[in-house]
Amino acid sequence: MSMAPDYPPDGGRWICALCREPLEQVKMQVFYLNSAFDVSLPSCPRCGITMTPKSLAEGKMLEVEALLEDK
């Protein structure tokens, strides 16, 4: 099971409100039910808060969650 690696924001020009920094695609691991997946997500380069775009949450992520739950 693989997730396409790069998920930019769904649209708009987003910044981190605290650091006022534009977001960068950062490679990281997301976790569910003893599994980890490599993805690139929009993240603040200074404080590290990370965005999960809606298209990912309701698309691939939901699919993979359902698969893992049936495992």
Partner 1 sequence: MKFDQAHLHEIESRCTQESPPRCQGLCPFQLDVRAFLAAMAESRHAQARKILDRALPLPGILTRICDHPCENACLRQGLGGSLAISKLEQHCAAVAEPSRMLPLPPKKFSLAVLGSGLAGLVAAAELARKGYPVTIFYRDEITAPLVTRFPSLKADDGLAADLEDLSRLRVTFEESCPDAALLARCEAEFAGVLLDADAARSLAPQEDAIDGVTRHWRGNVCCAGGLGRTPTGHAFPEAARQAGEGRRAAQTLERLAGKVSLMAAREKQQGSLHVSLEGIVPVPRVEPAGGSYTPEEARAEAARCLQCQCLICVRECVYLQKYKGYPRTYARQIYNNASIVQGFHTANALINGCSLCGRCEQLCPEHFSMADLCRAAREDMVARSYMPAAAHEFALEDMESASGPECALALNDVSLSEGAAPAWLFFPGCQLAASRGEQVIALHAHLREHLPGGVALYLSCCGIPAHWAGRQAMFAEHSSVLLKQWEKFGRPGIVAACSSCMKALRLALSEARVRSAWEILNALPLPRRCGTDFSEPLSVHDPCTARHDAAWRNAVRDLARKCGARLEEPRLSGEKTSCCGYGGLVSCARPDLAAEMSADRAAALPHTALASCIMCRDRLAAQGKDCLHLLDLLFPRPAMSGKDAAREKGPGLSARRAGRAALRRLLRDRAGEETPALQPPGMRVPPETLARLEDRHILLDDVTQAVAWTERSGQYFENLENGHRLGSFRPRHVTFWVEYSREGEGLVLHDAWCHRMKVPGSGGAAVRKEESA
Longest dimension (CA), the chain: 42
Residue 66 binds partner 1 (CB under 8 A)? yes
Residues in Cβ contact with 67 at an 8 Å cutoff, skipping those fewer than 6 apart? 1
Backbone angles phi, psi at 60, to 5 degrees: -55, -40
Site string for partner 1, 36-65 (x = CB under 8 A): -----xxx---xxxxxx-x--xx--xx-xx
Residue 1 binds partner 1 (CB under 8 A)? no
Binding-site member from 15, 24, 38, 45 for partner 1 (CB under 8 A) = 15
> At 66, which amino acid appears?
A
- DSSP secondary structure letter of residue 50: B
Binding residues for partner 1, per CB under 8 A? Answer: 12-18, 23, 28-32, 41-43, 47-52, 54, 57-58, 61-62, 64-67, 69-71
